[in-house]
Amino acid sequence: MVRSKKGFVKTIEVIIAIVMSFVFLVLILPTETQKSYQESLQILPSFADDDEFRNCVIGLNDGCISQFIDPLMPPYLGYEILITTDPDEMINIADRQVQVETHIFAGNITTFSPTVLKLFYWEKG
């Protein structure tokens, strides 16, 4: 039996290409990506169907909203709320890694009053 040298060389070339690709992926790409966020607490969606909470938001009542959020907020997190009609408005919280939950309320049964509630939270420290 005579083996073809061309076929053998092509096979070796393919194996070398696969090994080089694997080495590139292992060495060049980072081995562990840094997690730049934490899991969202998903506090606001739990109040989406609560009429009392909705009325607090539409009435722009920070204290009333805080009464709903305080029991669910872990003690190691600080938070601020922003009630606005501008979805692009933000709070300037410097030097912290901040998570934001946003919920838009169109109004209640009697009133159309689109209002955006943003919950900003971060680790205390």
User: Average pLDDT for residues 84-90, to the nearest whole number?
Assistant: 85
The better pLDDT of the pair 35, 120 is held by 120
C-alpha to C-alpha distances, 39 to 46, 55, 102, 107, 122, nearest whole angstrom: 16, 28, 15, 29, 12
pLDDT at 43: 83
Report pLDDT digits (tens) over 62-80: 899 999 999 988 888 888 9
